[in-house]
A = this chain, B = another copy of it.
Amino acid sequence: MSTENIKLLIDEYLKKYFESREGENKLIYEAMAYSLNIGGKRIRPMLMMLAYNLYKKDIKDILPMAAAIEMIHTYSLIHDDLPCMDNDDLRRGKPTNHKVFGDAIAVLAGDGLLNEAFSIMIDYSISKNSLEAMKASKVITDAAGGEGMIGGQVVDILYEGKEISEATLKYMHEKKTGELIKASIVAGATLGEASSKDIEILSEYGYKLGLAFQIKDDILDVLGSTEKLGKNVKSDENNNKTNFISVYGIEKSVELCKEITSQCIALLDRLNSDTSELKELTLELLHRES
């Protein structure tokens, strides 16, 4: 299946996910669905499904797990955008969650998405009675937690407006963005019952892809346009945040991003499966304009 069609599959699944929820608490699902369905690139669920597809044919089987990782990603965006965090008004070309629903509901919508993701993963593990599903859930949970995404966000906050070393910058991004991207791939391969040798290679691929992804994000923050990005550019500069550009400069950052992407492709070449779709997505991420 083409990456395009996989994205449509994910979009459709997520669009329907909260539709039938009714009751006095309905607003929370409206707020959760709002951020979940305003045009995300679906990179993490796509990576999971493509990694799974290296070993198993019917990728629809893991749609719930793919939806769960997108919910975790979305929750992190809602909380990151809050006035007490990055204070962003615009995300994917639309007003951020707290701009539409208010700060209190936005906090709860984030909480709700994180919780729903776990609910899905446990349900999935029970219904499949699968140790692989539980292990994949564990990989995702760890990547989202204090040693992953949340830990990276804390370091980001701690260093706001301060000098930051290259090592700390890498640490921060590895945790904040890299871990969940890597987890998408490792979880997909785990669900596909890949060998531990393959999982090791894909884990390194995921690590490097996450790094390239973040450098590209920083490049777009400087060179991209608000129109294409759907969020305000130069937000790092305006928030006094150190990023790859302020450490390496724009030219070296562009070069670095290309180099790491090549390393990603080389890692995929070490696998005995058809990795053409994963390679295509890897290159798309390098060349993206938003």
Give A residues with C-beta under 8 Å from B: 21, 23-25, 27-29, 32, 75, 79, 82-85, 102-105, 107-108, 110-112, 114-116, 118-119, 121-123, 125-126, 129, 131, 134-135, 137-138, 141-142, 144-147, 150-155, 157-158, 168, 171-172, 175
Contacts and interface: CB of A to CB of B under 8 A. Distances in A.
Contacts of A172: 24
A28 B115 contact: no
A118 B141 contact: yes
A115 to B, nearest CB: 4
A103 B84 contact: yes
Nearest to A116: B145
A85 to B, nearest CB: 5
Nearest to A151: B25
Contact of A25 (B24, B126, B175): B175
B119 A142 contact: yes
A146 B25 contact: yes
B114 A85 contact: no
Contact of A119 (B104, B145, B168): B145
B32 A146 contact: yes
B108 A154 contact: yes
A83 B137 CA distance: 33
B112 A85 contact: no
10 closest A-B pairs by beta carbon, nearest first, are A25-B151, A84-B103, A115-B145, A28-B154, A118-B118, A119-B141, A112-B150, A122-B138, A84-B104, A112-B146
Contacts of A168: 24
Contacts of A145: 112, 115-116, 119
Given A114-B111, A155-B25, A175-B25, A122 B146 contact: no
A32 B151 CA distance: 12
B155 A137 contact: no
A84 to B, nearest CB: 4
Q: Give the most central of A82, A151, A157: most B CB within 10 Å.
A: A151
Nearest to A24: B155
